[in-house]
Structure 1
């Protein structure tokens, strides 16, 4: 197999434009959209090679930068079950992206020889893009790379990131997970949602039909603005959705899940009416956070990934108990999880909790160790994984006459809940339907949900530094290993605050160090975050102005 054509086409149409290194991380590649044409061309070739290594299984490629500003873009590859690339292939991606144009062919030639690949003709790459202005041009670059490699491809056009994850898994399971189309995606989720409504109706519990007060959704002016109307059309009066940030403004600009989570306020221009139920997606619809204005205090209240995780874990725990099956349920968090949520999960729900480094791949991997593993980042990205053996056990139990009618019904109900969940990746649409179903089942409004436990006030800050790799962490990113003396200085600062906790970590998507702090009051959390930010600035080579209270 020769890669002369790949190199010639790459040099001619997609030459490497600068010498600034770019690394493939948890979120794939992300940078300014105008820097990515040569990178994405090369990823088309690499995806074809990955498919060949997987005996022709479909490999997904998504062009998006998620919650990043509109001028940014990115690309990430998806393995056959819709999961993310492993560390070894992340390295291959980084190496290929950074090689000089005139060495591209030889690098690919060496790679296929190392991997034992002899042909790419049966390789299949499926791809999609978000609504960023740079995405169509980048999609053309990707397609050119796939064609240069001689592989097969299918362009799904405009999709949410979770939809492409779903489609990849459907293709590679020959439709067992669902129909490999956008229509199949919506059919699976909405049919499960409607079935759950009817099952709850039979049990004479609160029905979803009576839970039709409007849900307001901020689509971050992204791809979700195109997909929510499709969802609404399939649900009709069952769930009324009012859409804002509907694509008429700039993507992720002062709106969206990341803005609401970090700023702890609604999207700019939105006035919350007390008691209304609000949710925000991010630009590619893999994150969701809920929020509302309190009826009694008229204050902003955020229901982030921690709140969603505890709601889901509590509901699933009750349901697992009803089945009578020995299913091991666990919840996975990162250091960003609010301390109050961890206490509530372990002491009140009595569900095991594991903590892992930030990044979906770490959460996803750890969640697979449970029969049913719930994972959510505080930013609102998360889902639930169910092992194949547990799914089979549930299926068999629905036909087991030795079990009570209640146990069989609970098993059938849990199977429908699993169908409502996109197990491939965090999915704001799937998570929205799951939350709405649980709230209806419990007969809870958002205020009742929020009262389950009270978050410790917290604050997140960013510190610009010369080199973010100066910060190295340990203990699932909860402790700074370098530079020397930073962690002891943080510990001394934290000790001054009631219920204080703080950690720092280098960003995986931006050239900054992220600071997180929580304490018993918002003022204390703000002060603690700023003090730690100053420590980072002084000890890790900060640039620009020193952080100030």
Structure 2
């Protein structure tokens, strides 16, 4: 079966209404992402691909999300969510790239037919797609172009509307498991809120509510998500959402949000004037589509930048792995727990975790961490930027649900109940700022900790990240989860010689996946050593990249 006749004509006619710009786009970890003005044809075509992907899975629902996450407001993007709520299967990434870059309507149909043949797709199978979008001014029009593509295949389309990216991931898995013996959850946004709120209140039962938490929503869709959650939590949690100017031109991710806090290592702009910002109290920031979270606190007045302390993805991973590991031990379950990091993880966090759980290091990109985490019974993964989650394997969930608590000590029975609730609280499809926020608050409450106690578990090594412009980033090739350079030849030996000069020194370089540059990361015991090491490594990259 192939795309021909009336269907081919329909696709070509609709494609002509969404002309392709003179730009080449590549589908990567973040899907397609570029200036919003260049994306209309790509969004139309991802609608076509979404329909084919659903058909290839026997009609299971897949998701399409229009968002550019932490990027500036003028950018946008689109990515696909596979049937289990995970990121798109890797073999479809080059398919997306080829279809997005087909020059004409005829070439587009030809590329689609290649997919139909390659994947043995039965075009008579009804397709099902749910889509959503973030708060950018360009998002809804781009979503409409996507729907035009879906319509070419007469797809069963569900409009999720304005959602966070993690909510769309949740909906896809919930829709596809709603008729199974153990559905993931009710396939609605209210079902999402009810699941998280119910698990949170179960874990917090009998415990004092945590102190009020200021949440920087990055002027994005997390604002809407928090309101929905609070309606279900009632008085169980007090949140003060700020930076909530959804729809205000130029506000999204501007001087605020998780990426700003992480990259600038400072409070969001204007926080020193917020009436509820006080030293010693926990604060957090979402990014624009609420799939990342960054925690932080102050050790003194907000007017002094030196009083800022950051609790990033490494700290979240350490907190989660430590606590869940203790619960597994207390429950006496025959399951393993491990943690996945990238080369960007602070060396102090790796040392801390290695003493508690097995560690896996993967290349940068959430898809790599997610797949590595699936190899553990309970896999914790977080990038330093605050994007991550915890995965409970079928074996782990079965061990928890089938445990005979009547024959256990009260401590073991309580640990089983808590693990079951954590599996409900954590959005296992993808990193979710809202879910991760609740997880952290629960663990801190259970441990009787505030931000200072959490921060004191280990002290981050001073570090620095530098971008170096080069003529051709592709000449830089890496191995060992991007921690060592194989090309240009001789560069790694020079880096090793530099690193050896500094106590606790570490440095690596890797080509950017999205920009024409090479990223240099350096860390050491002393800030002045970090500055020297980063500068010297940057000079080497320029020398070898000339």
TM-score by length of 1: 0.93
Once the two structures are overlaid, the 10-residue window that deviates more, 231-240 or 498-507, is 231-240
Q: Is this contact kept in 2: 1:82–1:424, CA < 8 A?
A: yes
What is the rounded CA distance, in whole Å, between the counterparts of 1:463 and 1:237 in structure 2? 49
Is residue 129–residue 136 contact of structure 1 (8 Å, CA) maintained in 2?
yes
Aligned partner of residue 420 in structure 2, secondary structure: helix
**Counterpart residue number, 2:265:** 264
Shift of 1:236: 2.9
CA deviation after TM superposition for structure 1 residue 508, in Å: 2.4
Contact conserved, 2:258 with 2:286, CA < 8 A, in 1?
yes
* Match for residue 83 of structure 1 among 77, 83, 86: 86
Q: Shift of the alpha carbon at 1:518?
A: 0.9
Deviates more, 1:225-234 or 1:428-437: 225-234
Q: Return the offset for 1:509.
A: 3.2
Is the CA contact (8 Å cut-off) linking 2:281 and 2:450 kept in structure 1? no
2:315, 2:455 within 8 Å by CA — same for their partners in 1? yes
Give, in angstroms, the shift of residue 64 of structure 1.
0.7
Correspondence for 1:524: 529
Alignment check: 8 A CA contact 2:405 2:412 kept: no
1:120 to 1:216, Cα distance in 2 relative to 1, 3 A:
farther
1:104 aligned to 2:102?
A: no
Distance in 2, Cα, partners of 1:351 & 1:68: 34
Q: Bigger shift: 60-69 or 222-231?
A: 222-231
Three-state SS of the structure 1 residue aligned to 2:52 is helix
- Corresponding residue for residue 545 of structure 1: none
Bigger shift: residues 242-251 or 312-321? 242-251
Q: Counterpart in 1 of 2:390?
A: 384
Which residue number in structure 2 is paired with residue 316 of structure 1? 324
Asked if the contact 1:6/1:149 (under 8 Å) is kept, the reply is no
- Give, in whole Å, the separation in 1 of the partners of 2:315 and 2:9: 52
**For residue 204 of structure 1, what is the aligned residue in structure 2?**
none
1:139-172 alpha-carbon deviations (Å, 9 max, x no partner)? 0110000001222211101100000000000011
Q: Deviations over 1:473-521 (max 9, x none)?
A: 1100101222222222222222232211111222223333222111112
Query: By how many angstroms is 1:6 displaced?
Result: 4.6
- Work out whether residues 6 and 145 of structure 1, in 8 Å CA contact, stay in contact via their aligned partners in 2: no
CA distance in 2, matches of 1:38, 1:294: 50
Q: Deviations over 1:515-540 (max 9, x none)?
A: 21111122322332233223223322
Preserved contact between residue 128 and residue 156 of structure 2 (Cα < 8 Å): yes
Contact 1:189-1:420 within 8 A present in 2 as well: yes
Q: How far apart in 2 are the matches of 1:235 and 1:426?
A: 21
- Following TM superposition, by how much is the alpha carbon of 1:121 offset from its aligned partner in structure 2, in angstroms? 5.2
Q: Is the 8 A contact 1:5 1:148 kept in 2?
A: no
- Asked whether the equivalents of residues 334 and 377 of structure 1 are also in contact (C-alpha less than 8 Å), the reply is yes
8 A contact 1:120–1:149 mirrored in 2: no
- Answer whether contact 2:58 2:125 (CA < 8 A) is retained: no
Change (3 A) 1:15 1:192: same
Task: Spell out the pairing of 1:242-261 with structure 2 (5 A cutoff).
Answer: 242-247=240-245, 248=248, 250-261=251-262
Aligned to 1:339: 347
Alignment equivalent of 1:232, drawn from 230, 233, 249: 230
Q: How does 1:10-21 map onto structure 2 within 5 Å?
A: 10-18=14-22, 20-21=23-24
**Pick aligned residue for 1:68 from 63, 68, 71:** 71
Aligned counterpart for 1:164 among listed residues 162, 168, 171: 168
Q: Residue 141 of structure 2 is aligned with which of 132, 137, 140?
A: 137
1:193-249 Cα shifts (integer Å, max 9, x gaps): 001111xx2xxxxx133x2x2211111111112222222232233221112221255
Please report how far the alpha carbon of residue 13 of structure 1 lies from its aligned counterpart in structure 2 after TM superposition: 0.8
Contact 1:63 1:76 in 2 (8 A): yes
* Partner residue in 1 for 2:468: 463
What does residue 438 of structure 1 align with? Answer: 443
CA RMSD across the alignment: 1.7
Q: Which residue of 2 aligns with 1:273?
A: 278
Correspondence for 1:395 among 390, 401, 405:
401
Partner of 1:151: 155
Range with bigger deviation, 524-533 or 388-397: 524-533
In the TM superposition, residue 295 of structure 1 has moved relative to its aligned partner by: 4.6
Partner of 1:544: none
Structure 2 counterparts to residues 368-517 of structure 1, below 5 A = 368-397=374-403, 399-517=404-522
Secondary structure of the 2:485 match is strand
The runs of 5 or more residues in structure 2 that have no matched partner are none
**Kept after mapping to 2: 8 A contact 1:208/1:441:** no
Over residues 251-293 of structure 1, what are the superposed CA-to-partner deviations in whole Å (9 max), with x where a residue is unaligned? 1122111111111111122115311211011111111110111
Contact in 2 for aligned 1:121/1:152 (Cα 8 Å):
no
Q: Equivalent residue of 1:333, what SS?
A: strand
1:219 counterpart (212, 217, 220): 217
Larger deviation: 479-488 or 29-38? 479-488
CA contact (8 A) 2:28 2:93 kept: yes
Structure-2 change in CA distance of 1:149 and 1:339 (3 Å): same
Between stretches 378-387 and 116-125, larger displacement belongs to 116-125
Q: Provide closer, same or farther for how the CA distance between residues 511 and 127 of structure 1 changes in structure 2, counting only shifts above 3 A.
A: farther
Q: Distance in 2 between matches of 1:120 and 1:255?
A: 48
Question: Is 1:46 equivalent to 2:49 in the alignment?
Answer: yes
Return the offset for 1:123.
0.7
Is this contact kept in 1: 2:15–2:44, CA < 8 A?
Answer: no
Distance 2:535 2:140 in 1: 41
2:356 is aligned with 1:354: no
